[in-house]
Amino acid sequence: MNIWLYIIRKVVNMIPTLLGVCLIVFVLFNLVAPDPALLLLGKHGTVEQIAQIHRELGLDRPFWAQYFDIVKSAFTWDFGYSWSSKQEIWQMIKNGAFPSMAITVPAFILTNAIAISISLLVSFYRGKMLDKSVVFVCVAMMSIPGLAYILFGQYFFAYKLGLFEIAGYEPGFPNFVPYVLLPIVLYLIMNIGPDVRYYRTAVLDEIYQDYVRTARAKGLTEKKILFKHVLKNAMIPILTYLIIQIPFLVLGGILTESFFSIPGLGGLTIKAINTSDFPVIKAMTILSAVAFMVFNLLTDVLYTLVDPRAKLK
């Protein structure tokens, strides 16, 4: 199938999925969640004040009209205004995108480059002491909660040793660099363990295939088999794992940004949850759904580039 026809078909198929996401968001925030007027006014709000809030927020309109507003925002990305800050939500998202990506993008690239390199190395020495030691260290690192890494990093590396800034953020390059270094290092430490284990498994799954035994029988060196044949065939699970992480990069790290006072999308989401700012939470939910659908499509297209056996249907 032509790649552009495939992309068009997948994009059309995304529309019902997005409508379903909008329906779930509508049910959760308009039917299941507490009355926003009560959250904004507190328990001492009068009937007149509650009615006024309903009129201001459009909650007195029919349900179908409120659902249509959510669907419209999903396609136009006009999410309206925040209840708490009265700012335009799309502008808030744009302002928070760069601080989030200043941490997640370099951390993502470094972590995966190092993890893939380590996984290839331990796969080459599979079953030996190096392989067993790396697996043990990865499991040990995965057993420690991310919050512990953050608190230890802030106390020891930032407060005691003074190697990094403890928290804060200054916009503009290179002003923001000192504030994102420690979050990047901690992101690497928190994610290197599971990444190495996943990539190692993907490589080892290919090493035990029949074509590897055939290549050895033909006299190819282990290094050539590993880097020329095994790595190429292991790219399907590796690509899947890589691309599924990208939406999280766009949306930022909620825990990291909260503890380091980074004004990114993660911090924006936490603040919206704490203040019951439903329009912002709805916007972030829809943005997450769109990001996952787009990058899932990208995964399918990239499959055909790394593996000619994969066909677009």
- The percent of residues above 90 in pLDDT, for the chain, comes to 8
Burial category of 105 from C-beta neighbours within 10 Å (exposed 0-12, middle 13-18, buried 19 and up): middle
Range with the largest mean pLDDT of 133-137, 170-174, 205-209: 133-137
For residues 96-116, average pLDDT: 89
Write phi, then psi, for 88 (nearest 5 degrees): -70, 130
pLDDT in tens, 2-16: 777 878 888 888 889
Which of 115, 57, 118, 51 has its CA nearest to residue 84?
Answer: 57
Tell me which of 304 and 86 has the higher pLDDT: 86
Residue 309's pLDDT band, with cuts at 50, 70 and 90, is: low
Band (pLDDT 50/70/90 cuts) for residue 306 is: low
pTM: 0.81
Which of 30, 280, 256 is closest to 271 using CA atoms?
280
pLDDT band at 60 (very low <50, low <70, confident <90, very high): confident
Tell me the CA distances in angstroms from 167 to 1, 94, 103, 149, 271, one per residue in order: 51, 22, 13, 15, 17
Give the per-residue pLDDT at 114.
93
Give the model's pLDDT for residue 312.
59
CA gap 57, 278 in Å, rounded = 11
In the chain, % of residues over pLDDT 70: 93
Cβ neighbours of 280 (radius 10 Å): 26
pLDDT of the residue at 120:
86
When pLDDT is cut at 50, 70 and 90, the band that residue 111 belongs to is very high
List, for residues 240-272, the tens digit of each pLDDT value: 888 888 877 766 677 788 888 888 888 888 888
Angle, helix 278-306 to helix 235-251, in steps of 10 degrees: 160
Question: Taking residues 133-138, what's their average pLDDT?
Answer: 91
Domains within the chain, CATH numbers bracketed: 3-76 (no CATH), 89-275 (1.10.3720.10)
Question: For residue 154, is pLDDT > 70?
Answer: yes
Higher-pLDDT residue of 277 and 253 is 277
